[in-house]
């Protein structure tokens, strides 16, 4: 069970270290054998590509333990071609950790996606969000056909961005090479609803699919 300390106006970073001591005394101590096993070797089953947003902690929202999910998070869960960081995470995951499932998980209420839609100028964030431009073009085209409320537009854009990033993932040379020789890694597009706590499946990419 998660234990949430009361939010205090007088915040101190020491709270995180106190939280760690609590974790060590309770969860870690209780499942010592499990942590001992993972200390010897990690065998994560999923590569999670998510947003850096503090409200989308992959382990907590999927009910997972340390050792189960290999993680890459950035602003607006973008799979960028020119990013050695994400490329090395993907390479390490599929080549060395033998992970067979990769999920790109976006979330409603995403500040990065709002910035993509509303515009943000002369910042690194603006450059970064250019990679998600195709998702905005799709939603703009839809908005010309029918009226979308502000919230509906935002949700559509979050979803289109996930679909776009899954396609980016499928176009990675390394992933294509794996797909040519088999059906894995399977690519999943998910969206997390910060209002309900639910993760919904948007897309599941298959070879030739
Ligand atoms: Zn976000």
Sheet holding 46-51, edge to edge: 69-74, 46-51, 101-107, 186-192, 199-205
Residue pair 72/48 in contact by the 8 Å Cβ criterion: yes
pLDDT the model gives residue 208: 46
Catalytic residue among 25, 30, 43, 55: 55
CA 109 – ligand 1 centroid, Å: 7
Q: Over the chain, what is the mean pLDDT?
A: 94
pLDDT the model gives residue 11: 84
Catalytic residue among 110, 154, 155, 179: 110
pTM: 0.93
> Is 53 an annotated catalytic residue?
yes
CA 39 – ligand 1 centroid, Å: 31
> Is 55 an annotated catalytic residue?
yes
CA 132 – ligand 1 centroid, Å: 13
pLDDT the model gives residue 183: 81
CA 32 – ligand 1 centroid, Å: 34
CA 11 – ligand 1 centroid, Å: 24
pLDDT the model gives residue 9: 67
d(CA 189, CA 160): 10
CATH class entry, domain 44-205: alpha beta
Residue pair 73/97 in contact by the 8 Å Cβ criterion: no
pLDDT the model gives residue 7: 65
CA 169 – ligand 1 centroid, Å: 18
Catalytic residue among 72, 105, 107, 154: 107
Domain borders along the chain are 6-41, 44-205
d(CA 39, CA 60): 20
pLDDT the model gives residue 209: 43
Residue 21 exposure: Cα atoms within 13 Å on the Cβ side: 4
Low-confidence stretches of the chain (pLDDT beneath 70): 1-3, 5-9, 206-209
> Is 154 an annotated catalytic residue?
no
pLDDT the model gives residue 121: 86
pLDDT the model gives residue 122: 78
Question: Nearest to residue 94, comparing CAs of 59, 46, 39, 41?
Answer: 46
């Amino acid at each position: 069970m998660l234990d949430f300390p009361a939010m205090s106006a007088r915040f101190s970073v020491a709270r995180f270290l106190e939280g760690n001591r609590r974790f060590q005394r309770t969860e870690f101590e209780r499942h010592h054998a499990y942590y001992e096993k993972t200390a010897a070797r990690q065998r994560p089953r999923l590569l999670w590509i998510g947003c850096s947003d503090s409200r989308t902690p992959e382990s907590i929202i999927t009910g997972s333990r340390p050792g189960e999910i290999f993680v890459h998070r950035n602003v607006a869960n973008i799979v960028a071609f020119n990013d050695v960081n994400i490329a090395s995470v993907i390479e390490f995951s599929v080549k060395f950790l033998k992970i067979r499932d990769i999920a790109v998980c976006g979330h409603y209420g995403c500040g990065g996606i709002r910035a993509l839609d509303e515009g943000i100028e002369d910042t690194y964030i603006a450059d970064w969000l250019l990679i998600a431009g195709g998702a905005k073009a799709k939603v703009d085209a839809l908005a010309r056909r029918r009226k979308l409320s502000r919230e509906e537009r935002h949700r559509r854009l979050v979803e289109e961005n996930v679909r776009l990033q899954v396609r980016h993932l499928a176009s990675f040379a390394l992933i294509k090479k794996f797909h040519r020789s088999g059906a894995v890694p399977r690519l999943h597009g998910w969206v997390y609803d910060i209002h309900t706590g639910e993760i919904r499946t948007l897309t599941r990419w298959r070879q030739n699919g």
